[in-house]
Each structure stands twice: as C-alpha cells, then as structure tokens.
Amino acid sequence: MSSEVGSIAPAPEGLVPEELSEALIARLRAGDLDLPLLPSVATEVLELARRADADAARLAEVLQRDQALAGHVMRLANSASYAARVPIVSLPQAISRLGLTALRDMVVAVAVRGKVFHVPGCNDVVAPMWRHALATAYWAREIARARRSNVEAAFLCGLLHDVGSPVVLQAILDVQCRRSVLYARPVIEYAILHFHGVFGGTLVAGWNMPPAVSDAILYHHDYSALERPSESVLLTHLADKMAAWMGLHDGYPRPPETEATIAAAQVIEDLNIYPDEVAQLFGLRERIAAWVAEVEE
C-alpha cells in the first residue's frame, strides 16, 4: 500500500485554516517539498550491510567519512546494552560488536535524526519528536520480540513512523515565510497531526524501505481504514502509545496515555495481548528509557 497524494483530505477547518491545508496539499501534489535524502555515507553503509562480502574493515572505512556517525557507532558499542567486556577502541571492533542489524538500525536512526528531524530554529519542537520516534522504535522491537515475531522490521517501522512530522513542520514554516503569516502553535500541531502520515509516506517512498514501513507511517494513528491491518501497523500503533506513556510525546495534540488507557485500547485486543502480557510490557519502561538516553547522549 502506498500513499495516494490525490486523495488527501484537508484538515478540519476549525483546527487548521483552510488556506494552510490547501497550501500543504498543493505542495505535496506538486512535489514542491524539501524531501531529505539519506546521507550518502548512510546509504552506502546500508548497501554494504546487505552485501555478501560485507566486512567490518570496509564498513569502518566508509563510516570514517562521517565523523558524527562514526562517533555514534563507538558510543553505542561501548554502551551498557552491548555489555562489552573490554572497552571497544576501534571502529571495526565496534562494528563487529554491534553486528549488521544493530549497525543498520543505528545508521538509519542517526541519519534520520540529522537529515529529517532537523528543522532550523525549531529544535524545541523537533527534539521531542525525535525522542518519541526512538522510544517507539525500541518499544516496537520489544513488543515484536515478546510476540515471537521478528524484530528487524518492527524497529524500522517505529523509528520512521513520524518521519513526516518535521517535513510538515518545514513546509508550514515555508508557507509562513512566503505568505508572511504566523500560525499559532496549536494550529501547527494540528496540521502536523493531520498531514504527517501522508507526507511521511511520500518521503520514504524514495528510500527503498519495506512496504511494512510505509503502512506503519500512513496508518499508525488510525488503522481502522485497513480491513486487515498488518502486524507492523498494529505494533507501531501500540509502540507509539507506549512511548507517549513514558512521557516522550510526539508533539501532537493527543490525550495523555496511562496504563489504563493503553490496557483499554483496541490495539491490545487486536494484537491479542492478555493482561499479564501487557503488565510485562509495562515492566520494560526503565530499560527502554535507558536505551533512548544512550542514543541521545
């Protein structure tokens, strides 16, 4: 399933002015968006990670061209999650320690943070969005693991589920600039809430991501439009709620999440998670907060 630009509904007029809705839809239809590409180093690492002859030395060589990325790899490999018995001092050593899956996840995470969750002058809005995305990724991964489902796609879906939000924000800033208007923060938040799915879907369409990722982006807030939502969409929906419950909000107007609201959510029934299993998930909160903090450092 992919986003259909032609079928975007305008946001409710009482919440988002009609002219802003129209301007955003027009820009999306016209392809008039600054859609970030993944940095070349990240793309190259992702490509290398899929090759039969991938080796730590070659990956290290590529990573060294992006010092920020290399720094993150070193930090993560030395973090408590990977429980290194001896300090990791070289990039090849760090890559070997992390493995291809973790390396790929981290490279996507860092690249997305740097290129997408980066709107100059709006760090106060975008930084929480990023933390929310990261927490959602970890929650999705652990929920998938608890369900004996493969964790690779779950992490990516969680990480990228709100990738459209900063793109919408940037587009709103552009509209403000071109029309010399200033929208109130609630207006911006509602506009992001309404448009981030379809903007995100358009963005990742050029990134060669698995279809599960596009579905998670498009339907993670409301999957009722899908006759049979995939497990990825359901996992991302629940993970998004868990991240909000931790206090890591996505920056939209949304009711607060509590253990009670999550336990009562329809997705719990749709994923067939029984009360004791829900309680076990809640018990992961501290661990996931620590992982988010590690990557955040």
Partner 1 sequence: MHVDVLVIGSGPSGQQAALQARRAGRSVVVVEKDSTVGGACVHRGTIPSKTLRETAVYLAGLPKRTAGNVEAALDERTRLESLMSRLDHVVASHTDSIAATMARAGVQVCRGRARFVSPHAVEVTQVRGKVEQWTADVIVVAAGSRPRAPEGIPVDHEHVLDSDSVLAMVYLPRSLTVLGGGVIASEYASIFACLGVATTIVDKAPRPLAFLDHELSEAFVQRFDNYPGCRYLGGQQIEGVSWEGIGRVATRLAGGTEVVSEKVLCALGRVPNLEALDVAAAGLRANARGFLEVDPYGRTSVPHIYAVGDVVGPPALASSALAQGRRAVCHALSLAQRSDEGAIPTGIYTVPEMAAIGLTEAQARETHADVRVGRASFAEVARGHISAGTDGLLKLVVDGGGGILGAHILGEGATELIHLAQLAMAGGQNVDVFVDNVFNFPTLAEAYRVAAERLVDAAHSAPV
Residue 97 or 194 with smaller CB distance to partner 1: 97
Long-range contacts of the stretch 11-14 (C-beta < 8 A, 24+): 11/190, 11/191, 11/194, 11/195, 12/190, 12/194
Q: Which stretch binds partner 1 (CB under 8 A): 112-120, 165-173, 246-254, 262-270?
A: 262-270
The angle at the Cα of 165, spanning 162 to 166, to the nearest 5 degrees, equals: 120
Complete DSSP assignment for 9-68: PPPPTTTS-HHHHHHHHHHHHHT-S--PPPPHHHHHHHHHHTSTT--HHHHHHHHTT-HH
- Angstrom distance (rounded) from CA 174 to CA 180: 10
Which of 151, 193, 244, 288 binds partner 1 (CB under 8 A)? It is 151
Residue 53 or 297 with smaller CB distance to partner 1: 53
Angle of helix 185-204 versus helix 211-219 axis, rounded to 10 = 160
Asked if 99 is part of the footprint of partner 1 (rule: CB under 8 A), the reply reads yes
Residue 5 or 54 with smaller CB distance to partner 1: 54
Structure tokens, 271: 């994923």
Residue 32 or 282 with smaller CB distance to partner 1: 282
Residues 21-50 that bind partner 1 (CB under 8 A): 49-50
Amino acid, res. 85: R
Q: What is the smallest separation between the CB atom of 153 and partner 1, expressed in angstroms?
A: 5
Asked if 64 is part of the footprint of partner 1 (rule: CB under 8 A), the reply reads no
Q: Which stretch binds partner 1 (CB under 8 A): 115-123, 161-169, 206-214, 285-293?
A: 206-214
| Largest interatomic CA distance in the chain | 59
Q: x/- binding map, residues 126-145, to partner 1, per CB under 8 A?
A: ------------------xx
Asked if 55 is part of the footprint of partner 1 (rule: CB under 8 A), the reply reads yes
Asked if 51 is part of the footprint of partner 1 (rule: CB under 8 A), the reply reads yes
Which of 2, 150, 258, 261 binds partner 1 (CB under 8 A)? It is 150
Q: What is the smallest separation between the CB atom of 30 and partner 1, expressed in angstroms?
A: 31
- Angstrom distance (rounded) from CA 66 to CA 118: 17
**291 Cβ partners below 8 Å, 6+ apart?**
81, 138
Asked if 228 is part of the footprint of partner 1 (rule: CB under 8 A), the reply reads yes
Q: Which residues bind partner 1 (CB under 8 A)?
A: 49-52, 54-56, 95-101, 144-145, 148-153, 156, 210-212, 228, 230, 268-270, 272-275
